[in-house]
Structure formats: structure tokens, C-alpha cells
Amino acid sequence: MRPYRLRSFSAILNSEKGFVLPLVLTHVLVFAIGVAALSEYAGHAARQVRSHESYLKTFCAAEAATEKTAAQIRLFLEKNGDTPTSSELSSMANRPPSMGELFSFQDASLNNTLSAVYAGSDWENKVLTVGDYSGFAGSVRTIRVSVMARNTTGVTPAVVTVTQTLELQRIPLFQFGIFYDTDLEILPGGGLTWTGLIHGNADVYLGTGSGSSLRLNSPLFAAGNIYHGRKDSNDPMPGDVWVKDSADVDQNMKNADGTWLDSRHADWLMGAYNRWDARVLSSVQGTGKVRLLLPSGSGPEVLIDRRSAGDSVPVQSQKMDAKADIRIVDGVVMDQAGNGLELRYCSGGGAYDNGCPEGQSVINPIGNKSFYNAREARLIQSTDIDVSLLKQSPNFRLIADARPGVVLYVSDHTNAGSLVNQDAVRLVNASSLPLKGMTLASDNPVYVKGNFNTVSKQAAGIIGDSFNILSNRWRDSDSFLGLGARKANDTTVNAAVIAGNTNTTEGNYSGGFENLPRLLETWTGDTLTYSGSMAALYTSRMATGGWSEGSVYTPPRRNWSFDPAFSNPAYSIPGFPSVYHVVKSSYEVS
């Protein structure tokens, strides 16, 4: 047998070169193709990244342009107290943000692509479907803000169009169960149950005394913070505070460990969402302010101010004096145009014309009375309006028949500056109101004596420097006596109310929502039934006496609630103001 001999590599290669060389070349080719493919993939990926980056930057530029215009619209509303005209919208759109040479907001013909236009020609009455107040009845007007942005740099330019739709919402104020433009405090010692949406444009304070509870059966929104406890002190408020969730189940602000879930709690942001299903929201969760449409520098108190020749259009549009069908200013009765108006009539039913037929007496529904207010420590000099007599006045009936409801404005400054007397207006014998309803507005304190709007209930509004309820048992002569002589009895009031309030300071409580209707009698054991909505928009300028319980009044059993009739989209209260809200209703990118 021949011995085995190893062959050299070159020998092997020479002997098998017909097989190995093609194999090696194939591997080299595959490798080269792989490298080329990877290189192409890397290049493609890089181009995709650059394209995506260009798109994102262009999208951000387009969004910035629409957001700037939307901010200009909101600023216009706040500054001017009016909605912009179509030409003013166009002017805003003609000022796109400056981004140098990076992006263009022009088309191929160098025309500006940023636009802001009204969709529709006028306000539309409808049930709101977007925003925090979805379900409310209001009026809306839609603005479409759109822009096409182009990336003008790089090798991968992008074109993006962004369109966002803004909905201007005009919401009648009476649609809110409780509305405060100032801090809202609901701190009833004896507890309270309230149904009706609550909105505060500032902070909200909730609490109640030991052994009692505060129950809120509707959503609560605050443009500020929501706190448990008092604003004026650190005194404990151990009573439960319940708010219903979306399943109509009461959920307590109190945690299992005895702490309270409010704006001071570390878990407030998501905790409130989860506990109440977004039915309790503060500024942290995005709640914003809603306000009367007034220009900068004009506060909501202009609502009750006398009209003036120098009023701007937005201010005049809000003033109740400018809306009034009947005006009583310093005792002089006038119509809207300022002409003298005779509301007196003869006992036979005919109009008063410098006298009445023989045997008939003069009936005057407007009178003057005096009584004492222990809270104000003032003698109230009241313009009394006897509603039962007013309805029979021939001239009043002519006005009431011609209007969708009567607006009556009263202002008396006879005792301005007096430390002894205080001007006021009082509605008496008002259980039955004129058909189609009535709103009384005044820059004086407003008093209601006895049952109000309880017979064939009509749309009714009361707007004043303060809101005061005197029971069915009230007698002016007893007002000068001690609290024990001022004994109330069960009384019912049905109205939407806007009133001034006093401010809470350290150690001095305003009285809170539970005392927004001011009382002067012993109500212990008696029930005050109230149905409507209550708003506090300003600080009282005449009725500035501080809240005091015990010597001024004792609290009633409060049977209070929001009037569900106010939620009807067709419901209207004569001359009652609305607040405005701006929401983003849709957003499109192409």
C-alpha cells in the first residue's frame, strides 16, 4: 500500500480550481449585493427620517399658525367685549407667525393661505354638543381657522394643511345651577343638598359641620382650585361632602385615611377624574373661565349700572337699563326711550288722565315704604312695586302684550352716601307674575316679600346689588324690634337670581352660597323653598353689611334646587344675560 501524502493548498486549488473559484466569486457577489442593499436601505431609511422630520416640523409650523390666530380671537373677545367681524377675522389671518425662511404660508402664487372665516352668517340656537357644557341650550357661532404650510428648506420639502374649528358658545346664565365670578364658598353648618351644575370662575371651598353633609348631585367645575374647608380660617369642617359620579353614585371627598381629595392632595389630577368620572374639575384638569362679553376694564357690575350716553356698544348690550321696557329712576317712571310713562290707573280700570272719574280712586302700583334692616343697620327707603296691581295697569298691559316678557329697571340714589338710610326696591304681592314673565333689575338691593312666582309660574329674573327674602309673615313695623319678634313662616321663591355678595376676609365669613339670599327673620323650624338658579357676579356696593347669624336671623330648612325648566332649549327669561365660552370643536390635518 502506498503511503498517504498531504497535498499543498496550491495543489488542491490547481486540481479543483474549476469548482472553488466560481464558489468564491459567488460568495463575494452575494456579499457585495448585501452590502449594496444595506447601503440602499440605510439611505432609504435616512430619507424617510428626513421626510418624516420635515413633515413634523411643517405640521408644527401649521399648527402654530392656527393656534396663534385662535389666541388672537380669544384675546379680541376679552379685550373688546364683542365678537370679531368677518373683516377683523381676515385681518388676524393676515398676520401669520414669522418663521424666517424655514417655512412659508403661501401657495405657488404667493397668496397667503392662512384664513379665519365664519361658517354661517349668524348665531344658531342649539343644544351644545362639545365642551364642558355639552347638553346646555345656547347659541353658537363657528369660526374655521385654516392654513397650508410649506417647508422651504432641505431636499425633502413637505406640505401640510391644518384646520381647526372654534365654536363660540353663548350660554344663558340661568342654565347654571350656581355660578360665581368670585370665590365660591358652600359651607352650610346644617348641611345642604343641591342639584344643578356649579361653575366657579375662581376658587371653590366646600365643607359642612359635624354630623351634617353637603350633597352635590350635579357636576362641579372651577377655573381656580377646589378646596375642602374654610377660606377664612383653619377651623375643621368634619361633615361629609358628597358629589355624584356618572353612575349617579355619591362619592365622598373624604378619603379612607381621613384626608380629603382636593386641590392640595398629591393625587388630585387623576384622583378627581377617577372618583367622579370627570364631573369634578378644576383648572388643573383644564377648566377655564366663562364670562359676560365685556371689554377689558369693565366688570360684571356694569350689568346693573344706569345707562350712559358714553357707553360702548358691548357695555350697552349688557346693561339691564338699556334692555328695560320700563325704567324707574329716582322715582321718575319712563319708557325705554326716556319718555314719561303713567302706570297709575283708576279703580274702574281706566287709564289715569290727570284724574279719575267721579267716585273712582287712583290706583298706584308704585309706592314708597320704610323698614329696618338689622344686617345693614340702616333704615331701608324702599320703592315698593305691587305686582298684583301693576298687572292691571292699562299702560303696563300694553307693554307686556307687545313684548316677549317685561324687563323693569329701578335705580334710586336719593340716599346715596347716607349712613342712616339705604335705597332699595321691593316686590310685594308677587305670587302671580305677568304672562310671558318679568325680570326686575336694579343697582339697589332687591327685596322679595312673601311667596314669589308660585301661581302659574312664569319666567322670572331678579338682578340686584343684593337679594333679600322676607317671609309671608313679615311686617315692616316688626323690623324695628328684636329678632324674636321677627318670626318667619314657610315661603317659596321661584326665580333666576343674580346678586352681589360680600367678600370673605380672615375671620369674617361672607355667608357663602347658603346665605346669598339674605334673611332678616327667625326661620328656625320653617322652610324656605327655592327653585331657580343663583349667580354672584360682583361685590355688593350698597348692601355692604357683613353676614351675621343669631342676632340678624336664624337659618331655615333649605329646600333648594335648580329649576329643571331652565334646561329646556326653548326657555327664555326676559333680558337675562349670557356668558361666553370658546371651545375647539374639530381638528383636521391633511
pLDDT band at 110 (very low <50, low <70, confident <90, very high): confident
Q: Which residues on neighbouring strands pair with residue 141, listed in sequence order?
A: 168
pLDDT tops 80 at residue 154: no
Do the Cβ atoms of 315 and 294 come closer than 8 Å? yes
| Whether residue 12 has pLDDT greater than 70 | no
Alpha-carbon separation of residue 103 from 9, 54, 106, 325 (angstroms): 66, 10, 9, 56
CB atoms within 10 A of CB 446: 27
What is the mean predicted confidence (pLDDT) over 291-295?
92
User: What pLDDT band is residue 40 in, cutting at 50, 70 and 90?
Assistant: low
Contacts of 108 (CB under 8 A, 6+ apart): none
- What residues contact 205, with CB distance under 8 A and at least 6 apart? 183, 184, 185, 186, 187, 227, 228, 229, 230, 231
pTM of the model: 0.88
Element holding 586 (H helix, E strand) = strand 578-589
Report helix, strand or coil for 233.
coil
Beta strand segments in 282-393, E:
326-329, 332-335, 345-346, 362-363, 366-373, 378-386
Q: What pLDDT shows up at residue 195? A: 96
Strand 250-252 and strand 240-244: the pairing is antiparallel
Cα separation, 476 vs 520, whole angstroms: 11
Over 50: is that where the pLDDT of 250 sits? Answer: yes
143: pLDDT strictly greater than 50: yes
Stretch among 102-106, 253-257, 351-355, 385-389 having the lowest mean pLDDT:
102-106
What is the band of 47 on the pLDDT scale with cuts at 50, 70, 90? low
38 DSSP assignment: H
Please tell me the predicted confidence (pLDDT) of residue 16. Answer: 53
pLDDT of residue 266: 95
Pairwise CA distance, residues 215 & 198, whole Å: 12
pLDDT for 420 beyond 90: yes
How many whole angstroms separate alpha carbon 540 and alpha carbon 499? 8
pLDDT recorded at residue 18: 55
Stated as kind and residue range, the H or E segment containing 28 is: helix 9-80
Lowest model confidence (mean pLDDT) among 93-97, 314-318, 413-417? 93-97
Q: Which three cell numbers stand for residue 560?
A: 333648594
- Over range 46-50, report the average pLDDT: 55
Q: What is the pLDDT of residue 565?
A: 95
Q: At what angle do helices 86-93 and 9-80 cross, to 10 degrees?
A: 140
C-alpha span between 410 and 460 (Å, rounded): 16
pLDDT recorded at residue 335: 96
Q: Determine phi and psi for 130, rounding to 5 degrees.
A: -130, 155
Strands 378-386 and 220-222: unpaired
pLDDT-derived band at 475 (thresholds 50, 70, 90) equals very high
Share of the chain above pLDDT 70, in %: 90
What integer is the mean pLDDT of 296-324?
A: 95
Environment class of 541 (CB within 10 Å of its CB; exposed 0-12, middle 13-18, buried 19+):
middle
Q: What are the grid coordinates assigned to 470, written together?
A: 322676607
Which residues, at least 6 apart from 400, have a Cβ–Cβ distance to it below 8 Å?
A: 391, 406, 434, 435, 436
Q: CA 349, 354, 356: angle at the middle one, nearest 5?
A: 35
Structure-model confidence comparison of residues 342 and 106, the more confident one:
342
pLDDT tens string 525-546 = 999 999 999 999 999 999 999 9
Q: Which amino acid is at 109?
A: S
Least confident of 44-48, 83-87, 500-504, 570-574: 44-48
**Mean per-residue pLDDT of the chain:** 91
**73-78: long-range contacts, CB 8 A cutoff, minimum separation 24:** 73/116, 73/143, 73/145, 73/166, 73/582, 74/582, 77/168, 77/293, 77/580, 77/582, 78/296
Q: How confident is the model at residue 56 (pLDDT cuts 50, 70, 90)?
A: confident
Instruction: Measure the N-to-C terminal CA separation of the chain; round to a whole number of Å.
Output: 86
pLDDT of residue 453: 98
The pLDDT of residue 1 is above 50: no
Query: What residue spans of 498-551 are helical by DSSP H?
Result: none
Residue 57: what pLDDT? 82
With a cut of 60, say whether residue 46 has pLDDT above it.
Answer: no
Contact 508, 449 (CB under 8 A): no
Task: Label residue 564 by pLDDT band (50, 70, 90).
Answer: very high
Task: Look at 48-52, 133-137, 389-393 and tell me which has the smallest mean pLDDT.
Answer: 48-52
- CA dist., res. 287 & res. 226, Å (int): 11
pLDDT at 51: 60
Residue 465: predicted pLDDT: 98
Residues in contact with 502: Cβ distance below 8 Å, sequence separation at least 6, in sequence order: 510, 511, 539, 540, 544, 545, 546, 547
Confidence check: pLDDT of 481 > 60: yes
> What's the Cα-to-Cα distance from 410 to each of 38, 106, 306, 400, rounded to whole Å?
86, 57, 9, 17
Least confident piece of the model among 50-64, 439-453, 460-474: 50-64
Q: Pick the range with the lowest mean pLDDT from 7-11, 91-95, 363-367, 455-459.
A: 7-11
User: What residue has cell string 356649579?
Assistant: 198
452 contact partners, CB below 8 Å, separation of at least 6: 427, 430, 431, 460, 492, 493, 494, 495
User: pLDDT > 90: what percent of the chain?
Assistant: 75
Cβ atoms 245, 271 nearer than 8 A: no
- pLDDT > 90? residue 437: yes
| Three-class secondary structure of residue 86 per DSSP | helix
Lowest mean pLDDT among 142-156, 258-272, 290-304: 142-156
516 pLDDT tier (thresholds 50, 70, 90): very high
